[in-house]
Each structure stands twice: as structure tokens, then as C-alpha cells.
Amino acid sequence: MARQARAVETRRLILQGAAVVFDEMGYDAASIKEILSRVPVTKGALYFHFPSKEDLARGVLEEQTLHPNFLPQTSKLQEVVDLAMTVAHALPNDAMLRAGSRLALERGSVDFAAHSPFLAWAKVCEELLEEAKRDGEVLPHVDCRETAELIVGSFTGIQAFSQVSSGLLDLEQRVSAMWRHILPAVAVPSALTRMDTGPDRGARLSQAAAG
């Protein structure tokens, strides 16, 4: 492997290990020692990439919004739905997503507000909604930023509710219900009837992406 490719791979390994530890323990209880015990890299390599625990947390927060892949659709509004359904499907098995969410929800000793995934997710969602609006799928009075921030906020709280009620087992069911409740206030009637918001949407997309 070329030196640069190896560095990218090492960085990825470290962030993956950090995500597992932040997800399990939260920011304050996590330690670099604990993270080092989970990844096959030297202390020197870790400190080269991430000089502090704060840098590791920021790395995890920045990584998580780059994470999910979803298939392009002809409907941009369907892509907004798919983004949430894909994350809901992936979350129980994706430490990076769970760690980002835990770091965002917990007000620990360090304030990660400036690196909050809330704002990054809302931006992704807002841009898709703006495209959907240009395509005539979104009702004219909808303020895309307001709706995007509502979706991201709601999703996050629904995830916390699902964690308590079922250890995330009912998350896809709950996110599907979110769409059934929110979309009538967002989509034009002809787009609304075409939207696929089934709780198994994330699983079907993930199979299609793998196949």
C-alpha cells in the first residue's frame, strides 16, 4: 500500500474504534487508552492523526454524516425519506452513527455544538427538499430549512424514544410513522401518493445497494 493510502486506512481504523468506545461509554467516560485497546495501531499513530480526545470526537462527528449511502431516485422527496429510512435501518449495527448521535445528545464536559451533526444533517436534508420543491413535489408555502430542521430534530428524539422502548428494534416502524405524519404537510398530493414510507424501505434499499 502506498504511504498515503495506509494513512487513510489507519485514520479510518482509529475513528471506527473511537466510535465504538464513544457509543458504549459516552464522551466523558471514554479514554484514549480504551480506544487504543480496541484498534491495532500504535499510540504514536493515534496521536499523529488525533492529538486529543476532543479531536477524536470531532472526527467521529464529521465522519458520520458522510457515512450513509442511498440510491439516487427520480423523486428528490423520496430521497429525503430514503435518507432517514437508510439511517434508521443502519443505526442498530453502525457504531459511527450511534456514537455521533450520542455525542450530539449528551451535554458532556466539552461542547460539540459547533460540530453538531444536527446542522450537517439538516443541510443535506434542506438541499434535497429545495430540489424537490423546484421539481414541484413540495407545497409552495413550505420553508425547506424549517422542515429540514424539524425532520432532523424529530428523527433524533424518535431514536432516543426507540432506544428506551425497544433498544432500537422499533426504530424503522417509528420513523415510518414520522413520515406518515409529516409528509401531508410537505408534499403536493400527487407526490404524496407516490412516496414509499414503509418501515421496510431501509432494508429494501440496503439489499438493492448490495445486490
Options 49, 62, 108, 204; binder of a copy of itself; rule CB under 8 A: 108
* By CB under 8 A, residue 184 contacts a copy of itself: yes
In angstroms, the CA 24 to CA 3 distance is 32
- Grid coordinates standing for 132? 424537490
CB of 25 to a copy of itself, least distance (A): 9
Options 88, 174, 187, 197; binder of a copy of itself; rule CB under 8 A: 174
Residue pair 146/186 in contact by the 8 Å Cβ criterion: no
CB of 50 to a copy of itself, least distance (A): 23
Question: Exposed, middle or buried by CB within 10 Å (0-12, 13-18, 19+), for 110?
Answer: middle
Identity of the residue, 31 or 207, whose beta carbon is nearer to a copy of itself in the bound complex:
31
Helix runs in the chain, H state only: 3-29, 32-36, 43-49, 53-64, 76-90, 95-105, 117-134, 144-166, 171-182, 189-194, 201-210
Identity of the residue, 46 or 178, whose beta carbon is nearer to a copy of itself in the bound complex:
178
Residues 111-170 that bind a copy of itself (CB under 8 A): 113, 116, 118-119, 146-147, 149-150, 152-165
Could you tell me which residues come within 8 angstroms of residue 120 by beta carbon, excluding any fewer than 6 positions away? Answer: 62, 65
Report CA-CA distances (Å) from 172 to 23, 55, 111, 195, 211: 20, 32, 30, 16, 21
* By CB under 8 A, residue 177 contacts a copy of itself: yes
Identity of the residue, 179 or 206, whose beta carbon is nearer to a copy of itself in the bound complex:
179
Identity of the residue, 41 or 87, whose beta carbon is nearer to a copy of itself in the bound complex:
87
Identity of the residue, 26 or 198, whose beta carbon is nearer to a copy of itself in the bound complex:
26
* By CB under 8 A, residue 107 contacts a copy of itself: yes
Options 9, 55, 106, 135; binder of a copy of itself; rule CB under 8 A: 106
Identity of the residue, 145 or 204, whose beta carbon is nearer to a copy of itself in the bound complex:
145
In angstroms, the CA 50 to CA 145 distance is 33
Footprint on this chain of a copy of itself (rule: CB under 8 A): 26, 28-29, 102, 104-109, 113, 116, 118-119, 146-147, 149-150, 152-165, 174, 177-178, 180-186
